[in-house]
Amino acid sequence: RATETVVGPERTVDGFAKAFLDELNFEAGVALKRSTTTDQYLALARTIRGYLMADWLRTAERRRQNPTKMVGYLSAEYLLGRQMGNSLLATDLGDIAEQAMTSLGLDFNLLRAQEIEPGLGNGGLGRLAACFIDSLASMDVPSIGYGIRYEYGIFRQTFEEGRQVEVPDAWLSLGAPWEFPHPDRAVQVNFGGTTEQYIDGDGRTRRRWLPAWNVQGIPYHYMVPGYQNGVVNTLRLWSARATQEFDLKIFNSGDYAEAVRAQTFAENISKVLYPEDSTPQGRELRLQQQYFFVACSLKDFIDRTLEEDFDLTRLDERIIFQLNDTHPVIAIPEMMRLLMDEHDMEWAAAWEVTSKCFAYTCHTLLPEALEVWPVELMTRLLPRHMEIIYRINEEFLDTVREAFPGDELRVRRMSVIQEHPERAVRMANLATVAGVKVNGVAALHSELLRDKLLPDFAALWPNKFTNVTNGVTPRRFIRLANQQLSTLITDTIGPGWETDLERLRELEPYADDAAFTESFRQVKQANKDRLRSILSQRDGIELPEHAMLDVMVKRLHEYKRQTLKLLHIVSMYDDITSGRVRREDVVPRTFVFGAKAAPGYFMAKEIIFLINSVAKTIAQDPRVTDLMAVAFPANYNVTLANKLIPAADLSEQISLAGKEASGTGNMKFALNGALTIGTDDGANVEIRELVGDENFFLFGMLEPEVAALADRGYTPSSFYESNPALKRAIDLLASGHFTGGDRSLAAPVVDDLLYKDRFMALADFQSYLDAQARVDAAYRDVDGWTRSAVLNVARSGFFSSDRSMRDYLDRIWMPKS
């Protein structure tokens, strides 16, 4: 009998070319000379994944043979970025693939450019999940990512007359060569209906759910390759389909149109990613999405991944589910329901194990971003879960009363159920009650989370709270994004730093080495040149050749303060055009923005319009075009980030202190040799500590100062009145100078700054301007700047997501004691 050994195609140029032609001819059924670029891209993708297949099967088999505790990462978002480059890097097949394509007369880079990135996330939280699964695979940690296969990811941003217009992201339209659908492994998910009491076979009184409708979840598997280590983990994303039962019920009623409508209804669940970032809209469909993917994932784990007949009272020996923010927190009552209603466990035993199987990561401090679900909605959509939540809460509040007798105010603050303005389930409280650990995403954030957001919980359970500072994968954000820097690093300190990023420290002595710093400068210049040509082709934006590249890329949000950056730009423009500074004293700058606004976020969209207006006015004003330029390429995404970040000289991380949980863009810039101008916020604090004060431009109030000012009462207009530079900048913005003479077009942003300014941009303006003056001075000293840039790279190894994964393992997933 033949034994199965899976071997990939031969790792030679000919072997690759043959595998590619097999894909094209026999899988797609197209001849090379008749094939389109899309055909070729798809065949190339399938060829590359063929090389990963043997490792994927071997990894899965190895894990099955030796079952150990796994990490289940539950996330509603994965912002993966393009897959081809990463797969080529993981398999080390880049050169072979390129030569094979060339041997067939094909343009390798053109084919690579065809890929539409899976944008199944909004921003930081989604990209973090993608970095984490990359690290888990590269570290060979038994783990699985669970999420949603949205048919439409984050919208494509376009600008019409400077205003954001959203276009659906049909990322699957070319075909989906990286995914493996498994309709044969569909899982059923129930919704609605009622609950009832009944007597089971053993005479026990129990409760059960009588759902009203259901859908099925189809798993789609994605390969998550480790970095050249033979490991391929799995990302399992769920897609919603109508169940046959669901169809038939309605079909049998004879209403064909209604039956088709019902299918659409079911499939809507995984149709589109909610583009809201930070302010949840509390929509029913969103709760359906959350429950849908969580129910599929738990069932998948218990029924299919876990060994058969495993004793579920020991479930925590096999799994820890990490909850990526509150979005998957409904998994907690779902686990209780599964254990009790479907696996016959008693409440106490079910709670005992459930409360060991989850840990919760919080990614925000903005109170409006904390999800709450109305009790009315929960009861209608998930009646059994609502009952379970009530009971969890009852027992929890008993614990609180025992620990703090007579303190009913505290009980009300800590309750999982809020009473005002409406009765609703506080998902963060639920996660904190049930989780083994609660963590923030940077040192400052974890401190504020413990002391300001959840102080009552910290008083009850001080040891539940911990920190894990975020990280980013050096594979995608250095090796792939910045090939030239990677080569320089390897030539200098040898190979291996990609999986041991603290080794970048070995670069420190080279900060004073003339040959090295010269090469380093050349790499930065080459990256800038490449970016200029990309922006020219991609957006028709023509940028000057020699200027400091000053970059602010992140979601558009008031707390991130893109307006503060805009005030600096307007101020610089005003200084030049009014002759207040001599032209020869100006350090030329190119400002680059990248930012999407949530479609319903009025102020964010006005800010985008104003940035575009300023950019256009500046581009048309010959008095300044040799000294400043503002570029705002549309549709900032992972693909563009990979091209932008390596080119940057200056990284803008200017949120109001205490508002940015961590930031991860800040880490990517530092690792690529940009210097940071930033507030004492999020992971900026740790970046500055590591790279050193002299290599970081700090400005702005510290968090306690922000809190104190808020307590005293903040009046932005007083800063406007008392600071002439600020007054000039605001007056110029308000005058209509940048908006074709129409003052009303600038008014929404200007009036908000003057009369509300929730995030205190005006209070930090002068300090920001002063810091920018220090940036100019530092940039004029070419050697000094390069030295600082090298030290930023050398001292940022801590920000590898491999280190984050280590910390999660040590502090949360597999603690020693």
Which residues, 6 or more positions from 795, have their beta carbon under 8 angstroms from its beta carbon?
504, 505, 508, 690, 691, 692, 695
Active site residue 279: no
CB-facing half-sphere around the CA of 750: CA atoms within 13 A: 21
Tokens representing 738? 């940048």
**Closest CB 204 distance from ligand 26W, rounded Å:** 40
Q: How far is CA 662 from CA 125, 364, 647, 658, in A?
A: 10, 9, 22, 10
Active site residue 236: no
Q: Are 707 and 512 in contact (CB under 8 A)?
A: no
Residue 458 C-alpha from the chain's centroid: 27
Buried-exposed string 60-78: b where 16+ CB fall within 10 A, e elsewhere: eeebeeeeeebbbbbbbbb
Tokens representing 287? 């709760």
Q: Exposure of 301 by Cβ count < 10 A (0-12 exposed, 13-18 middle, 19+ buried)? A: buried
Active site residue 560: yes
Q: How far is CA 568 from CA 79, 544, 557, 590, in A?
A: 31, 20, 17, 13
What single DSSP character describes residue 309? Answer: T
Buried-exposed string 578-606: b where 16+ CB fall within 10 A, e elsewhere: eeeeeeeebbbbbbbbbbbbbeebebbbb
Active site residue 524: no
**Closest CB 281 distance from ligand 26W, rounded Å:** 7
The H or E element containing residue 62 is helix 37-65
Report the residue number, 129 or 691, with the smaller CB distance to ligand 26W.
Answer: 129
Listed in sequence order, the DSSP H helices in 66-93 are 84-91
Q: What would the 3-class secondary structure string for 27-45 be?
A: HCCCCHHHCCHHHHHHHHH
Q: Which of 112, 554, 605, 688 is catalytic?
A: 554
Report the residue number, 100 or 287, with the smaller CB distance to ligand 26W.
Answer: 287
Report the residue number, 325 or 764, with the smaller CB distance to ligand 26W.
Answer: 325
**Closest CB 362 distance from ligand 26W, rounded Å:** 8
**Closest CB 803 distance from ligand 26W, rounded Å:** 15
Report the residue number, 59 or 289, with the smaller CB distance to ligand 26W.
Answer: 289
Provide the strand spans (E) within 58-101: 70-74, 78-79
Active site residue 565: no
**Closest CB 142 distance from ligand 26W, rounded Å:** 23
**Closest CB 341 distance from ligand 26W, rounded Å:** 29
Residue 261 CA to residue 694 CA, distance in Å, equals: 63
The H or E element containing residue 375 is helix 375-381
Which residue is closest to ligand 26W by CB? 124
Residue 333 CA to residue 121 CA, distance in Å, equals: 25
Report the residue number, 336 or 468, with the smaller CB distance to ligand 26W.
Answer: 468
Q: Which of 326, 664, 679, 739 is catalytic?
A: 664
Q: Which of 555, 589, 737, 787 is catalytic?
A: 555
**Closest CB 295 distance from ligand 26W, rounded Å:** 20
Q: Which of 149, 318, 327, 363 is catalytic?
A: 363
- Residues near ligand 26W (CB under 6 A): 122-125, 128, 274, 276-278, 280, 325, 363-364, 369, 441, 470, 660-664, 682
Report the residue number, 776 or 807, with the smaller CB distance to ligand 26W.
Answer: 807
Q: Which of 46, 524, 528, 560 is catalytic?
A: 560
**Closest CB 130 distance from ligand 26W, rounded Å:** 11
Length of the chain: 817
**Closest CB 664 distance from ligand 26W, rounded Å:** 5
Q: Are 490 and 519 in contact (CB under 8 A)?
A: no
Strand pairing report for 205-210 and 372-374? unpaired
Report the residue number, 327 or 532, with the smaller CB distance to ligand 26W.
Answer: 327
Q: Which of 668, 688, 787, 803 is catalytic?
A: 668
Report the residue number, 486 or 655, with the smaller CB distance to ligand 26W.
Answer: 655
Q: How many CB atoms lie within 10 A of CB 278?
A: 20
Report the residue number, 219 or 435, with the smaller CB distance to ligand 26W.
Answer: 435
End-to-end CA distance of the chain: 48
Active site residue 555: yes
**Closest CB 712 distance from ligand 26W, rounded Å:** 27
Report the residue number, 188 or 467, with the smaller CB distance to ligand 26W.
Answer: 467
Instruction: Name the residues annotated as catalytic.
Output: 363, 554-555, 560, 664, 668
